[in-house]
Amino acid sequence: ADDLDIYAFSISDSENFDLVFEADTSLPFTVTIQDAGGNLIASADNTSYGMVFQTLDTEFEGQTKDYTVVVDAAGAFGLYNLSINTVGAAPADVAISTLVCPLDHTSGEEVQISWELVSLRGPGNDASIVLHIDLLDDMGAVVSRMVTTTSTVSTQGNLTFGADSEFYTTPDETTSGNYTCRLTIDVNDDLVESDEENNVHIGESFFIQNEEELWANDVDRDGFNTTDSGDGIVDDCPTTFGESTIDRFGCADIDEDGVSNLNDFWPLDASQALDSDLDSFGDNPLGTEGDQCPDVPGVAGGEGGDGCPAAIVDADGDGVLDADDDCPNTPTGTTVGTDGCEVDPTDGTTDNGTDGGNTTTDGNTTTPGDNTGDGNTDGTTDGTEDNTDVTDVQSDSTIFGMSPMIVYALVGLIVVGLVSALLLRGRNSGGQSSVFAEQQKAYDASALPAANDSTITAEQLAYEQQLIAAGYPADAARTYADQHFRPYLNN
């Protein structure tokens, strides 16, 4: 007799088996079972005869596999009983592998739910099972059926199947609160299973915001409340959607630069919006038509760039701009009139090269224009006529008892006042209901500074009127005039 008996067999079609070995315990027999690769699966000796191995509830359950059984007599002689019994397929058991509920959202929105199933054991035989996904409130009560669908059990042996997803639109009337979703599989018991407890799974909680409640204090739904909710922000255009945030909250802002269309000087250009000094150049120096001097009215190509004041050119330093100076080369220190020419100290008028007919003679020749009629050849008149001439000169050099310079200054003040009023009226007729603080200070600057300072001469006032007529604000005109007429103020 030999010492070893060897048996080989195969298992397939989800079948399972038992291996039983019986012998007299006095015999030193051993029995082992191995897989096709020679790996030991189980063994028994005379201390453990009986059930040697069974595939149910092990990793070998339902597997198609080749096995080898070896009985070793260990040199002894005797009888034994070896039985390999098939026990059929294991019962099916389908469970839920994953369930992903919707995230936080607003009622009326479309959301997505996804899931995947797993076959834990036994053949499903391609059975079709019904799935339900329900929306539950925070008390666990069913609010609505989210999904009804079917799935085919196509795998076994701890393999996943049935991965799927569905979209669901939350009803508009859903109240605000915490919710979750629940997946139930094989709701009609179409599949006989060894375990029914794992057929229900509840996902993570999420929050649903009722849409009507959300927008109750925001009629136009632009994110700005119709009434103050405690943050001090109120929609300035409560019935019109808008995104402005700088000048007004919640008003139309087509270029999305934060300034509403109403107050945006460049409503279609996001790089520019405001013009605080109202000189037609925008406050952003890097934007379209940028103002390089945004706090001071200016001109194109001004001193310092666009939007800066024009360079003051007064070559002879007499306080009269070259553009208005009829005598551009007046010597330093000369008192001049508004035309830039020297004032004649004898008659209060400027000397621009003509003497008006009152000249004298040299020697005994009568100077042309001397029509005194006294018959003398020295170019003078008699005492009576001389007094008359002086009186005439004094009368000609005053107007209503005031010097021409003072009269000119007063007339200039009146003209500036009228021009300022017309400009302000023109700006206010543009239809803007509100001009915020940055622009308001430009309007305020148009008022003429008071001239009650005794150190301000009539000539300085006349010079200021010329600057104002050229487009400078009154306060800027005063500053520039002080540089020429009152330089000691800067010491």
- Asked if the model's pLDDT at residue 392 lies above 60, the reply is no
Backbone angles phi, psi at 393, to 5 degrees: -65, -45
How many Å apart are CA 189 and CA 204, to the nearest integer?
Answer: 26
Backbone angles phi, psi at 287, to 5 degrees: -90, -175
Q: What is the pTM of this model?
A: 0.48
- Asked if the model's pLDDT at residue 178 lies above 90, the reply is yes
The answer to whether residues 320 and 465 touch, using CB atoms and an 8 Å cutoff, is: no
The answer to whether residues 476 and 449 touch, using CB atoms and an 8 Å cutoff, is: no
The answer to whether residues 454 and 468 touch, using CB atoms and an 8 Å cutoff, is: no
- Asked if the model's pLDDT at residue 400 lies above 80, the reply is no
Which pLDDT band holds residue 346 (cuts at 50, 70, 90)? low
Average pLDDT over residues 211-223: 89
Residue with tokens 């150049």: 281
How many Å apart are CA 107 and CA 409, to the nearest integer?
Answer: 74
How many Å apart are CA 188 and CA 117, to the nearest integer?
Answer: 17
pLDDT in tens, 64-95: 999 999 999 999 999 999 999 999 999 999 99
Which pLDDT band holds residue 474 (cuts at 50, 70, 90)? confident
CB count, 10 Å around CB of 37?
A: 7
C-alpha closest to that of 96 among 114, 77, 72: 114
Residues 6+ positions from 116 with CB-CB distance below 8 Å: 96, 97, 98, 160, 161, 162, 163, 164
What domains sit in the chain, N to C, each tagged with a CATH number? 4-86 (2.60.120.380), 93-212 (2.60.40.10), 322-485 (no CATH)
% of the chain exceeding 70 in pLDDT? 77
pLDDT in tens, 266-297: 999 999 999 999 999 999 999 999 999 999 99
Q: In whole angstroms, how large is the CA radius of gyration of the chain?
A: 54
Average pLDDT over residues 153-160: 81
Q: How far is CA 302 from CA 136, 282, 297, 325, in A?
A: 71, 14, 10, 21
- Asked if the model's pLDDT at residue 166 lies above 60, the reply is yes
pLDDT in tens, 93-141: 999 999 999 999 999 999 999 999 999 988 888 899 999 999 999 999 9
pLDDT computed for residue 491 by the predictor: 56
Mean of all residue pLDDT scores within the chain? 82
Residue with tokens 């499903």: 124
C-alpha closest to that of 78 among 26, 20, 6: 26
pLDDT computed for residue 427 by the predictor: 43
Which pLDDT band holds residue 316 (cuts at 50, 70, 90)? confident
Burial class (CB in 10 A: 0-12, 13-18, 19+), 131: buried
Joined tokens for residue 81 = 């009983």
- Asked if the model's pLDDT at residue 409 lies above 70, the reply is no
pLDDT computed for residue 488 by the predictor: 73
- Asked if the model's pLDDT at residue 419 lies above 80, the reply is no
How many Å apart are CA 344 and CA 323, to the nearest integer?
Answer: 22
- Asked if the model's pLDDT at residue 395 lies above 70, the reply is no
Average pLDDT over residues 196-220: 94
pLDDT computed for residue 7 by the predictor: 96
pLDDT in tens, 363-386: 443 444 444 444 444 444 444 444
